[in-house]
Amino acid sequence: MSRFEVDEASDEEIARERALYGPFTDAVRGLVDATIRTLADADAVREAQAEIEAITERLTKDQLPGSYGVKFRKADGKGRPWGNAVMGLRNPIAPPVDVRTVEPGRTVADFHLGAAYEGPPGLTHGGVVSLVLDQVLGHTVSSHGRPGMTGQLTISYRQGTPLGDLRAEGWVERSEGVKTWARGHILSPAGEVTAEAEGLFILPRWARNLPDRDVDHFS
Amino acid sequence: MSRFEVDEASDEEIARERALYGPFTDAVRGLVDATIRTLADADAVREAQAEIEAITERLTKDQLPGSYGVKFRKADGKGRPWGNAVMGLRNPIAPPVDVRTVEPGRTVADFHLGAAYEGPPGLTHGGVVSLVLDQVLGHTVSSHGRPGMTGQLTISYRQGTPLGDLRAEGWVERSEGVKTWARGHILSPAGEVTAEAEGLFILPRWARNLPDRDVDHFS
């Protein structure tokens, strides 16, 4: 079941894939936003639908049998979780949220949430807040050398999180064997904390012998 | 900031909109899946990208200035949160998860998660698990006549949640004034609980005077 694939991709090949799939995925993100917001008339919507179905038909003639999984490069164990729901290069659902390691066990992410992430009118869906914070905390424990799957996650919502430009921060509290505890929050453009997170992450048994444990995340 | 719009849409108009936007959004969902899984060559990907950008350009000529918000029908206060990130009819990011009320304060949702919702290889992203459970619990408290925004949400992950067909269930534990506590879980096709949720929901001040409080959710 685990779709860990180890390959020998060169830096050049990876750069070429990024240059191809990054802009392609961005184009689909743009279409997702337009799907929600368009005021085009019914005929125009139907025409767009037919064209999209034709594109999809071409793209799916030759495709992966299931989900993307994670590809690892044999040389350095570097992972490419390009299907990931939060930061996948090839996943239009991912905002994407690219988490940067400030120092081991401390991370920050600047990201933008558009119309597709709405819950209450004009605000980020409470579940999207937890989705982003799960990813940020997962990356935080990985950056600490202790990657893991989420064991428990608690989100405390302090105020509505606006849509638009946001920042998330994460930091490790402590770790003990295969368990690591991390905390984090989301900040509004005004610098106010809109939601806080507390998470326990556990290194799964099946991942304890991977080529490199310092992969981006498993969560 | 609140994008609550009250209108006089007839049943017929709403049915016509559903028949137009439902299949259109499904087509974009299909394209999202194809974007992740396609093995088409570089030229085919670039060609698809150019076509998608052209469609988006047409659709965005006339569009909502921001996110979709929620439209309410004046006659019965029935809400149409069609941009919602989890269940929005017009949101390709939404799986969608349609939560059914079994009885007031008890809900169930059968849904399908494809490649776009992946975290660990072959498994649902831990944050997507929380995203779905937030929505299910939010709907559960609404069905109880106590809608609210999420105050606190705790997810306990028992085992990896496979991608594919899943079920979620929610139930109200108790309520007190504007606060309601609910619990829920996700079940694998084998009927095993993969994750449990506990949530506190609070009716926000700005929503206490809406035409009808029994709307689908605010979370």
Helix or strand run (H / E) with residue A25: helix A11-37
Pairing of β B4-7 and β B70-73: parallel
List the single best residue of A5, A16, A31 to mutate versus B (max B Cβ within 10 A). Answer: A31
CB-closest option in A35, A115, A152 to B154: A152
Residues B47-72: pLDDT tens digits?
999 999 999 999 999 999 999 998 87
d(CA B10, CA B110): 29
Is pLDDT at A191 greater than 50 in this prediction?
yes
Q: What six digits make up the tokens of A209?
A: 């012998």
Please give the model's pTM, rounded to 2 decimal places: 0.92
In terms of average pLDDT, the best of A199-203, A210-214, B69-73 is A199-203
Cβ neighbours for A80, distance < 8 A, ≥ 6 positions apart:
A9, A14, A70, A71, A72, A73, A89
CB-closest option in B35, B84, B117 to A28: B35
Q: What six digits make up the tokens of B4?
A: 């609550």
Q: Which of B154, B38, B184, B158 is nearest to A196 (CA)?
A: B154
Alpha carbon distances (Å) from B81 to A99, A116, A122, B89, B202: 30, 12, 11, 8, 19
- Location of structure tokens 């509004």: A188
**Residue spans of alpha helices (H) in chain B:** 11-37, 42-59, 126-143
CB B183 within 8 A of CB B197: yes
| Confidence grade of residue A210 (pLDDT, cut at 50, 70, 90) | low
How far A103 CA sits from the closest chain B CA (Å)?
24
Q: State whether B118 and A40 contact (CB < 8 Å).
A: no
| Confidence grade of residue B78 (pLDDT, cut at 50, 70, 90) | confident
Q: State whether A31 and B56 contact (CB < 8 Å).
A: yes
In this prediction, residue A125 carries a pLDDT of: 96
| Interface predicted TM-score (ipTM) of this complex, two decimals | 0.92
| Confidence grade of residue A5 (pLDDT, cut at 50, 70, 90) | confident
Q: State whether A32 and B30 contact (CB < 8 Å).
A: no
Q: A65: cis peptide before it, omega within 30°? A: no
CB-closest option in B55, B86, B151 to A52: B55
Q: What six digits make up the tokens of B77?
A: 């206060």
List the single best residue of A18, A33, A55 to mutate versus B (max B Cβ within 10 A). Answer: A55
| Confidence grade of residue A71 (pLDDT, cut at 50, 70, 90) | confident
Helix or strand run (H / E) with residue A100: strand A100-103
| Confidence grade of residue B217 (pLDDT, cut at 50, 70, 90) | very low
Helix or strand run (H / E) with residue A185: strand A179-187
Residues B120-148: pLDDT tens digits?
899 999 999 999 999 999 999 999 887 88
Is pLDDT at B181 greater than 70 in this prediction?
yes
